[in-house]
Amino acid sequence: TRVAVPAPAISPRPARRRALATFAAASLLAGAALWTWIWSAQGQPFDAEQFKLAVRTAWDRQDELPAFDGSFEADLPQGGWRSNRVEFAEGSWGYSSARDGAHRVAVRRFSVWGETRQRHDGLLLIVPVSDVGDEALPPPQGNYLSSGRAHYVDLPDGTSLAVVSWQESNRVYLCILPRGRSEEALRGALQLGVS
């Protein structure tokens, strides 16, 4: 008589190895795609997606940004921005999407006070017009008060940021604030600062 020999159990190791190999390949592919994007962004004008990335990075990692390298004059906007109604922190920080690391955006931290003496913190991003590409046309000439509606950027943590952009002379400005009362506080400070 023949004795039936049970088939050997299939070890889960090959399945794990395949899954690990697939994960490693996907990670390498994603890393290569990111490196290619960074490489191609060097010296290229900012487009709309790069501006969104700059806004998110500046807000999320503002404490990690290096000191601004002075690669261009990061002048403040005219009007109430230069009054005592808007308080700027000392120094400027820089952001770059270029491989060479040259800063393409100067970042200034500021605070304004609301009607209930509540402090609202925000960021002002300064970009040379020459770094703004055709796909992300520079906003029209004007100022924060005349630039129209804010655009809103939602962060993964649930924060909703209001972003207002305008152009003065050869600079594009992007003001970033948490959505809501901080927008009202800044608008009021800028109006008082020019009256």
The reported pTM is 0.72
pLDDT one-digit tens code per residue, 15-44: 666 655 554 444 444 333 333 333 334 455
Q: How confident is the model at residue 178 (pLDDT cuts 50, 70, 90)?
A: very high
Is residue 183 within 8 Å of 191, Cβ to Cβ? no
Residue that the structure tokens 């994603």 belong to: 30
Gap between the Cα atoms of 150 and 175, Å rounded: 9
Q: Give dist(CA 171, CA 131) in Å, integer.
A: 9
Please determine, for residue 156, whether its predicted confidence score (pLDDT) is greater than 60: yes
- pLDDT tens per residue across span 74-132: 999 998 899 888 999 999 999 876 656 778 889 999 999 887 788 999 999 999 988 88
Of all helices (H) and strands (E), which one includes residue 121?
A: strand 119-128
The 10 Å CB-count burial string (b at 16+, else e) for 69-89 is eeebebebbebbbeeebbeee
Q: What is the pLDDT of residue 96?
A: 78
What pLDDT, on the 0 to 100 scale, is given for residue 42? 41
What is the reported pLDDT for 32?
A: 36
What percentage of the chain reaches a pLDDT higher than 70? Answer: 69
